[in-house]
A and B are shown apart, each in its own frame.
Chain A
Amino acid sequence: MVGRDPRPRWLQVGRAWLYPRGRRLGGWAFILNRLSGLVLTAYLLLHLTLLSTLAWSPAAYDWFIELMSSRLVLLFDLALAAVLIYHGLNGIRLTLVGLGVGVTRHKEIFWAAMLVGLLLLGYGGYRLWGGM
């Protein structure tokens, strides 16, 4: 008779989804895609919450705009852009590969996408910080 599996299901699923040990490029890309998706979802909620200050008062809105223009927040914006670019470009890679395009070259496509991402991030950083 089989006993109850002692390994909790959440642990098995969590390990398969987010545990990077022993994983190769595809596994790392998948884990980062999950995490970046979570970050973007959390940011969307934060963004909507902060935008709601518009409805409070003109003073609150001015305070919000001043806060958003600080160097620290711009750094946060850059990090957010990196997450967004990664998620988007990896999504394009997955769409291509998922439709049978470049199946045996998925690793090369990943690195090419990351190169494009770095260039985009560099340009974004220049635009964000260049005027400071």
Chain B
Amino acid sequence: MIEMRVFRWKRDQEPRYDHFLLPYGPRTTVLDLLEVIRVDHDPGLVYRHSCHHGACGTCAMRINGVERLACLTCVADLLKEESRVIVEPLNGFPLLGDLVVEMTPFNERLAAVGLPPLRRCELPGEPPEGGAVQLEDCIECGACVSACPVAVTDHHYLGPAALNAIWRAVEEPRGLDVEPLLDMADGEHGCWRCHAVFECSEVCPNQTGPAEAIMRLRQRLFIRRLRQLLRGGDGHGRA
């Protein structure tokens, strides 16, 4: 049996942690335990999940203080670190209830970038209607934003995922004009806000390396500004 503490909150209620003692096996995941709680103990528990294999990114949450996907986090592995499991919602997102947070601001930020990492399906055959189908590696789980101290502080900050998306487009534009994206990254809420903590890269379940992407974006922008200054501009693209 393992002790599990789950953050609970519903509108007009005080937040609390509920304790559960649950059986587990060598392959039991945190998501499995949440489903046991919902089925056997409390049908009111709200959490988000879909694919159960780390592809959809919907079950990202803070597990023992670290952003992880509940469907890929083995309870037995957690026990190597601590004797109990504490489950909380992602940090820095508006809370909807229990373990579910509002992802709209995050998705809007990615949309503002123009979703550059979205590519037309490269599988044989016609791409689905609308063209873009799948992020290359980022599963838009929001773990990077939750782990980032700047994203939690500045809600207008583009954030690790969006900046990673910009870098992906800059790295491989495929005919896209990347200058507007570079301008966006160079803005007040762009990559210069990053404090190089690298926690976003540490918690990314797919190792997309958002922090590394931000640092490379900075290098690119630094060189761009230097060139603009040498040409007689003010470093902000203004002559």
Question: Given the complex, which residues of B lie within 8 Å of A23, measured CB to CB?
Answer: 199
Query: Is residue A61 within 8 Å, beta carbon to beta carbon, of the partner chain?
Result: no
**Cα distance A65–B216 in the bound complex, in angstroms:** 50
Q: Which of A6, A17, A21 gathers most chain B CB within 10 Å?
A: A6
Query: Distance (Å) between the CB of B218 and the closest chain A CB?
Result: 6
CB-CB nearest in chain A for B146: A16
B91 A6 Cβ-Cβ under 8 A:
no
- The tally of residues in B whose CB lies under 8 Å from a CB in A reads 37
Query: How far, in whole Å, are A23 and B219 apart by their CA atoms in the complex?
Result: 26
A17 touches B199 (CB 8 A): no
Q: Name which of A44-52, A66-74, A79-87, A97-105 contacts chain B.
A: A97-105
Residues of chain A contacted by B92 (CB below 8 angstroms): 12, 16
Q: Cβ of B212 and Cβ of A103 under 8 Å apart? A: yes
Q: Give the residues in chain A near B153, CB-CB below 8 Å.
A: 13, 16-17
Chain A 1-17: CB-based contact to B (< 8 A → 1; otherwise 0): 11101110000110111
CB pair A7–B66 under 8 Å, yes or no, is: no
Q: Which of B12, B152, B196, B218 touches A13 (beta carbons < 8 Å)?
A: B152
Query: Would A6 and B14 count as touching, CB distance under 8 A?
Result: yes
Residues from chain B with Cβ under 8 Å of A103 in the complex:
212, 215-216
Interfacial chain B residues near A12, Cβ < 8 Å? 91-92, 152
Is there an interface contact between A2 and B94, defined as CB atoms closer than 8 Å?
yes
Contact of B94 among A5, A13, A99, A104 (CB under 8 A): A5
The size class of the interface chain A forms with chain B is 20 to 34
Please, how many angstroms separate the alpha-carbon atoms of A61 and B92 in the complex? 51
A3 and B215 contact, CB distance less than 8 A: no
Task: Pick the most buried of A15, A100, A106: most chain B CB atoms within 10 A of its CB.
Answer: A100
Q: Are B91 and A16 in contact (CB under 8 A)?
A: yes
Chain B residue at minimum C-beta to C-beta distance from A4: B11
A94 touches B152 (CB 8 A): no
**B199 & A97 in contact (Cβ 8 Å cutoff):** no
Contact B196 A100 (CB under 8 A): no
B149 contacts across to A, CB distance below 8 A? 13, 16-17, 30
Q: Are A6 and B94 also in contact (CB < 8 A) when A30-B195, A100-B218 are?
A: no
**Residues of B188-239 whose CB lies within 8 A of A:** 194-199, 202, 211-212, 215-216, 218-220, 222
B11–A3 CB distance below 8 A: yes
Q: Which of B149-193 contact A (CB under 8 A)?
A: 149, 152-153
**Which B residues are CB-close (under 8 A) to A98?**
194, 196, 215, 218
Name 11 extra pairs, CB < 8 A, besides A16-B152, A22-B66, A26-B197: A2-B96, A3-B10, A6-B9, A13-B149, A24-B198, A24-B199, A26-B199, A27-B197, A94-B196, A99-B222, A100-B219
A-B CB contact pairs (8 Å), 27 listed: A1-B11, A2-B94, A6-B9, A6-B13, A6-B14, A6-B15, A6-B95, A17-B149, A17-B153, A21-B65, A22-B62, A22-B64, A22-B65, A23-B199, A24-B199, A24-B202, A25-B198, A26-B197, A26-B199, A27-B198, A27-B202, A30-B195, A99-B218, A99-B219, A103-B212, A103-B215, A104-B212
Q: Which A-B residue pairs are the 9 nearest by beta carbons?
A: A100-B219, A3-B11, A22-B65, A26-B198, A16-B152, A22-B66, A16-B149, A21-B65, A6-B15
Residues of A within 8 A of B (CB): 1-3, 5-7, 12-13, 15-17, 19, 21-27, 29-30, 94, 97-101, 103-104, 106
